[in-house]
């Protein structure tokens, strides 16, 4: 499966963005999708995960309530809605896929990656 992340940009603190991860290739609905992010000088960190059907989700604890992940399998797309953004959310955001129903929080579990989209929050 090929993934392409989009929707990043520059936003003021307190604002919102919706990222998209569009997939092509293999059967999209057989892949669980996760979002990761990497800020300058920091390690890549888990943001959110959604199951193959979209019926289950999981979040980094500190982000739950501000971020929401969803998917539309008919459109081969996963979304990450980000609200109440602050400067600490500034990072490159990546979507990743794994053909498994298990929830994986570490990046090495994912076989396929999008190219990343930059999110910059100005304070």
Residues 85/13, Cβ–Cβ less than 8 Å: yes
- How buried is 119 (Cβ within 10 angstroms: 0-12 exposed, 13-18 middle, 19+ buried)? buried
The pLDDT score that the predictor gives to residue 101 is 86
Using one digit for the tens of pLDDT, what is the confidence trace for 6-47?
Answer: 999 999 999 999 999 999 976 999 999 999 999 999 999 999
DSSP codes, 38-98 = E-TTS--EEEEEE-SSSS-EEE-TTTBTTEEEEEETTTTEEEEEE-S--GGG-EEEEEEEE
pLDDT of 86 above 80: yes
> How many residues in the chain?
123
């Amino acid at each position: 499966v090929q993934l392409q992340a989009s929707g990043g940009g520059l936003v003021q603190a307190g604002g919102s963005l919706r990222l998209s991860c569009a997939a092509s290739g293999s059967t999209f609905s057989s892949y669980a999708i996760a979002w990761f992010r990497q800020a300058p000088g920091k390690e890549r960190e888990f943001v959110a995960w959604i199951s193959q059907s979209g019926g289950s989700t999981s979040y980094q604890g500190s982000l739950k309530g501000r971020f929401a992940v969803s998917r539309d399998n008919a459109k081969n797309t996963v979304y990450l809605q980000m609200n109440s953004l602050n400067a600490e959310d500034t990072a490159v955001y990546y979507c990743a896929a794994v053909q498994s129903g298990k929830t994986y929080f570490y990046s090495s579990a994912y076989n396929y990656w999008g190219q990343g989209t930059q999110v910059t929050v100005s304070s």
